[in-house]
């Protein structure tokens, strides 16, 4: 379904229920070896604040930020997000950088060699994915496609006043959620992502 269709249609009660159950997954948090920060232009300060809280609470030892230069900016998403994370209290030398990725698949594909060189992939057993609420499980699904060995956890953030489970009552929240939800099956069919959590 196209973006235009996603923004125009209204979800049925069954679809709302399915999205809340299958897409907006909550995972129990445990201390991880790595926080994977997916690039974005949305809610950067909120993401950095959330990452800093996780850091202070001992939930990760290393982080990687992945994101390239997007239209209208001279700096990469990585540069902007890392600066916000450092300002929020995370040591700069604990944040690995990936500056070329232009989509979620590239976030993972281009980050893996960087993680391997700096830390060794075999030394990473648990990863926390941090990103936008509406993208939800597509982050760990992408990671699972390219790095199935690690345990994946998911933390999502957004600045909508609307509660997460009521996303369908806010026009913009609804548009973003449906746009991402509509990618899941086509992306699985193309091999961009893998089922997660596994049945």
**The total number of structural domains that make up the chain:** 1
Token pair recorded at residue 88: 């929020």
E-strand stretches of the chain:
32-38, 60-66, 95-98, 126-132, 151-157
pLDDT bracket for residue 7 (50, 70, 90) = low
Instruction: Please give the average per-residue pLDDT across 44-55, as a whole number.
Output: 96
Domain that holds residue 98: 3-190
Task: Please check whether residue 125 lies inside any domain of the structure.
Answer: yes
166 φψ region: left (φ > 0), alpha (ψ -120 to 50), beta (else): alpha
Q: Average pLDDT, stretch 73-83?
A: 94
| Beta carbons of 192 and 105 less than 8 angstroms apart | yes
User: How far apart, in whole angstroms, are the C-alpha atoms of residue 109 and residue 128?
Assistant: 17
In this predicted structure, what is the pLDDT of residue 40?
87
Residue 195 lies in a domain: no
Q: What is the pLDDT of residue 26?
A: 86
Residue 5, pLDDT > 90, answer no
Percent of the chain with pLDDT over 90: 89
How much is the average pLDDT of 181-185? 95
**Within-domain flag for 122:** yes
Whether 138 maps to a domain, the answer reads: yes
Q: Compute the mean pLDDT over every residue in the chain, rounded to the nearest whole number.
A: 93
Pair 38, 68: CB distance under 8 Å: no
Confirm whether 198 is domain-assigned: no
Looking up residue 64, the CATH number of its domain turns out to be 3.40.50.620
Q: How far is CA 155 from CA 44, 169, 182, in A?
A: 14, 22, 21
pLDDT given at position 174? 96
pLDDT single digits (tens) 14-25: 999 999 999 999
CB 146 within 8 A of CB 183: no
| pLDDT at res. 3 | 42
Does the structure show a pLDDT above 50 at 4? Answer: no
In a domain, residue 25? The reply is yes
d(CA 187, CA 151): 21
Residue 49 maps to a domain:
yes
Q: SS3 letters for 138-173?
A: HHHHHHHHHCCCCEEEEEEECCCCCCHHHHHHCHHH
3-state secondary structure of 64: strand
Q: Is residue 11 part of a domain?
A: yes
Statement: residue 131 has pLDDT above 70 = yes
């Amino acid at each position: 379904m196209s973006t235009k269709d996603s923004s125009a249609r209204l979800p049925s009660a069954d679809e709302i229920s399915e999205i809340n159950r299958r897409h907006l997954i909550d995972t129990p948090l445990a201390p991880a070896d790595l926080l994977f920060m997916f690039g974005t232009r949305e809610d950067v300060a909120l993401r950095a604040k959330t990452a800093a809280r996780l850091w202070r609470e001992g939930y990760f030892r290393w982080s990687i930020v992945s994101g390239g230069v997007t239209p209208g900016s001279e700096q990469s998403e990585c540069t902007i997000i890392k600066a916000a994370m450092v300002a929020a209290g995370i040591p700069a030398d604990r944040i690995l950088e990936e500056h070329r990725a232009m989509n979620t698949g590239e976030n993972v594909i281009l980050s893996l060699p960087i993680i391997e060189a700096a830390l060794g992939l075999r030394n990473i057993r648990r990863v926390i994915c941090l990103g936008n609420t509406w993208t939800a499980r597509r982050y760990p699904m992408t990671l699972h496609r390219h790095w199935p060995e690690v345990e994946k956890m998911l933390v999502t953030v957004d600045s909508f006043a609307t509660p997460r489970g009521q996303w369908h009552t806010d026009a913009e929240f609804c548009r973003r959620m449906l746009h991402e939800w509509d990618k899941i099956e086509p992306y699985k069919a193309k091999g961009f992502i893998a089922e997660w959590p596994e049945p």
